[in-house]
Amino acid sequence: GAGVSQSPRYKVAKRGQDVALRCDPISGHVSLFWYQQALGQGPEFLTYFQNEAQLDKSGLPSDRFFAERPEGSVSTLKIQRTQQEDSAVYLCASSLLSFYGYTFGSGTRLTVV
């Protein structure tokens, strides 16, 4: 597609609920990243895929967070047993090469109540 598409745009979850956030990158982009942006902060790296391989998951804050990209295109970020501190905007970005910069989606705003 023309840009990086994320869904849903907004998600309200009750504490303890599982959520799944979807990212549809630009067609042909090999690299895919997930970031977490807390209110008033810069985005923080969560995880990185090159095609279907998850090469770095060092930023995932706990084992409740899980990401996959099984066919090297669409990616899903899953958060199990959501907590209030998980409330943030979750950004997805894709790239051909870091040299060219990254294209970000509009993000999913997750609010845990």
Partner 1 sequence: GNSVTQMEGPVTLSEEAFLTINCTYTATGYPSLFWYVQYPGEGLQLLLKATKADDKGSNKGFEATYRKETTSFHLEKGSVQVSDSAVYFCALSVPLGANNLFFGTGTRLTVIP
* CA 3 to centroid of chain Cα atoms: 15
Residue 66's nearest CA partner among 9, 74, 75 is 75
- Report the site for partner 1 in 67-106 (rule: CB under 8 A): 91, 93, 98-99, 101-106
| Main-chain dihedrals φ then ψ at residue 100, nearest 5 degrees | -90, -5
Containing 108, the helix (H) or strand (E) segment is strand 108-112
Residue 68 exposed, middle or buried by CB count within 10 Å (0-12, 13-18, 19+):
middle
Among residues 14 and 28, whose Cβ is nearest to partner 1?
Answer: 28
Site string for partner 1, 10-49 (x = CB under 8 A): ---------------------x-x-x----xxxxxx--x-
Q: Does 58 bind partner 1 (CB under 8 A)?
A: yes
Binding residue for partner 1 (CB under 8 A) from 52, 55, 61, 78? 55
Q: Does 111 bind partner 1 (CB under 8 A)?
A: no
Binding residues (CB under 8 A) for partner 1: these are 31, 33, 35, 40-45, 48, 55-56, 58-59, 91, 93, 98-99, 101-107
